[in-house]
Amino acid sequence: MTYLLNDPTKFADELAEGFVAVHRDKIYAVDGGVIRLHKAKPGQVVLMIGGGSGHYPAFGGFVGQGLAHGAAMGNVFASPSAQQICNVAQVVDAGGGILFCYGNYAGDVLNFNQAQQRLRAMGIDVRSVVVTDDIASASLAEKHKRRGIAGTLPVFKAAAVAADAGKSLDEVFRIATEANERVRTLGVAFSGCTLPGASEPLFEVASGKMEIGMGIHGEPGISRMDAPSADGLAEILVNRLLDETPSMIEDRRGARIGVILNGLGAVKYEELFVVYRKIDQLLSGHGLTIVEPVVDELITSFDMAGISLTLFWMSDELEKTWLAAADTPAFHRGNVVHSNENKADSLQLGNQHRLKTGSAISQAAATVVLAVLEAAYAAIDVKQEELGRLDAIAGDGDHGIGMQRGLAAAVAAAKEALDAKAGAGTLLTVSGDAWSNRAGGTSGALWGVILRNIGSALGDEAKPDVTAIADGITAALRGVTDLGKAQLGDKTLVDVLHPLSVSMDSSASRNLSIAAAWNAAADVADAAAQATENLLPKIGRARPHAEKSIGTPDPGAVSMALIVRSIAIALKKHCAPFEN
């Protein structure tokens, strides 16, 4: 468990503050993450990485000379928001283009893709390489669905060295892509991890047992077996990874490989060395040449007791990037010459809105929207732990706290907008942006889309009615499916949002009142959320554990139904002025 914390919802912010304070000689804090203390050369490509907190040294610990130029740092086990990513990217941009490189998780993909689109619209050339090294998370035939874990390091390093050498964005992209094709990782765990403020781990492993292929966000393993000896574990890891030798390696004997033995949090260095001793013997026995192995904690999961082994099958070109010098808060190799010139500027970028003053009727509607958001926050706050428990069955267990963070930010932004005399549409828009930025992750991005689309439909002039709300929900459904790619039946919040849209359209056609329409919608949402217990997840972190989720409703669907019900209750109390 986590022993030292203040407010769990502020844990990520406070750890980032302390991290930067320790490493002022290497990194600089910017809005959304950290960047190298020294600027990249004008006109060169820069590498930007990122991900959730709780995995130190990934990801901020890999920012510095010889590695990443910047990192966006999300909340605990949640991807950074698109706005955080854009903020860091704009500060670190040197004019030669940006390569995004990150692990293959739904929230990261959603938010980095959104950021990439925004930056391209600004005229910044951006490419992305998504790391897929975890062999347990999907078959080789579906390698594009695999997660990114400790194999991110050699991919990051390959891209960074190429960028600092002055190569073009196309070349940096090519080199990082090839590195990703040549890296394989497998992890095991002897215990789950416990989120800050939680009283129980996300999953438990019986004494004497071992999970194979668990996720770094606390997702349970793909299979379970009796825990072997240190030598026995080394044999399991080596044999399974050698079975997946990349196809471009024609003859393993004589191949040169980088090796990473990574501790996930509670397995300490002495134990790692015992395991590595056997790994070295086994790999050498297969005729492989090990080049500069790394035994360290590189991507962790709080107090999870576990390890992972990574093999990086190098070409001559990639071996040079693996051996190149680096000096970051968490990774050191060789000697790096530091310059005292060209230090980073203190440029801070934020998501600023020019708030439009609404009409008198829209301002009155905005007071109701604030009451609705407050009611939604109260409903989620009560059910936060239950939502986390649902999420932990086949996911990472952070859904409840992520929704709590997002709604708290939305309410705060709504109050500021109301004080500025914003209309209902603008209030929803700034609330959606605040939710997305604060919560991060998949749900943060999707709820940001939902609120922005409903806000756009309501506008800041007209009196809201069921037709405008129905149009906004239809647009929200379209935006969510376009962004997240989930469809009806994939066991996501879409399984509630779709019937909710149908219900609101029906209410609009029958000229129901706003309160009556939402009451009908709440009944539909409750039934739709409960029905997801019979579905298999086809997208997101729960997909590798699909069978485990049967009999349990999707947490995203459940939280949406809770919010819809809270809206219905709040509107019955507050929206009488709009029913006349």
Asked whether the beta carbons of 124 and 97 are under 8 A apart, the reply is yes
Domain limits at 311?
A: 8-330
Q: What helix, strand, coil percent values describe the chain, rounded to 5?
A: 50, 15, 35
Quickly count: other Cβ atoms within 10 Å of residue 356's Cβ: 17
Contacts of 137 (CB under 8 A, 6+ apart): 145, 146, 147, 213, 215, 222, 544
| Strands annotated E in 138-255 | 183-189, 209-212, 223-226
Q: Is residue 168 part of a domain?
A: yes
pLDDT in tens, the chain (580 residues): 788 999 888 899 999 999 999 999 999 999 999 999 999 999 999 999 999 999 999 999 999 999 999 999 999 999 999 999 999 999 999 999 999 999 999 899 999 999 999 999 999 999 999 999 999 999 999 999 999 999 999 999 999 999 999 999 999 999 999 999 999 999 999 998 988 888 888 888 999 999 999 888 877 788 999 999 999 999 999 999 999 999 999 999 999 999 999 999 999 999 999 999 999 999 999 999 999 999 999 999 999 999 999 999 999 999 999 999 999 999 999 988 665 456 766 555 544 546 889 999 999 999 999 999 999 999 999 999 899 888 888 666 788 888 999 999 999 999 999 999 999 999 999 999 999 998 888 899 999 999 999 999 999 999 999 999 999 999 999 999 998 888 999 999 999 999 999 999 999 999 999 999 999 999 999 999 999 998 888 766 555 555 667 889 999 999 999 999 999 999 988 876 555 5
Q: Long-range contact list for 451-454, CB < 8 A, 24+ apart?
A: 451/410, 452/428, 452/479, 453/478, 453/479, 454/428
- Looking at the structure, tell me whether residues 365 and 318 fall in a common domain: no
- Looking at the structure, tell me whether residues 313 and 454 fall in a common domain: no
Under DSSP, the state recorded for 354 is -
Instruction: Specify the length of the chain in residues.
Output: 580
Under DSSP, the state recorded for 560 is H
How many domains, in total, are found in the chain? 2
Domain end marker among 330, 347, 378:
330
- Looking at the structure, tell me whether residues 301 and 434 fall in a common domain: no
Secondary structure, 3-state, 272-284: HHHHHHHHHHHHH
For the question of whether the overall pTM of this predicted structure is more than 0.85, the answer is yes
Query: Where do runs of H (alpha helix) occur along 75-151?
Result: 82-92, 106-121
Query: 468: which 2 tokens?
Result: 């405008």
Domain end marker among 282, 309, 330:
330
Quickly count: other Cβ atoms within 10 Å of residue 280's Cβ: 18
Q: Is residue 443 part of a domain?
A: yes
Give the residue numbers annotated as catalytic, written as ranges. 217
Angle (nearest 5°) at CA 90 between 84 and 94: 145
End-to-end CA distance of the chain: 55
Q: Is residue 265 part of a domain?
A: yes
Backbone angles phi, psi at 289, to 5 degrees: -105, 120
Residues 153 and 151: their CA atoms lie apart, in Å, by 5
Backbone angles phi, psi at 487, to 5 degrees: -120, 170
Q: What is the CATH number of the domain that holds 220?
A: 3.40.50.10440
Q: Is residue 157 part of a domain?
A: yes
Residues 102 and 71: their CA atoms lie apart, in Å, by 10
Element of type H or E holding 48: strand 46-53
Asked whether the beta carbons of 98 and 364 are under 8 A apart, the reply is no
Which residue is associated with the tokens 């071992």?
A: 210
Q: Is residue 390 part of a domain?
A: yes
- Looking at the structure, tell me whether residues 240 and 383 fall in a common domain: no
Q: What is the CATH number of the domain that holds 406?
A: 1.25.40.340
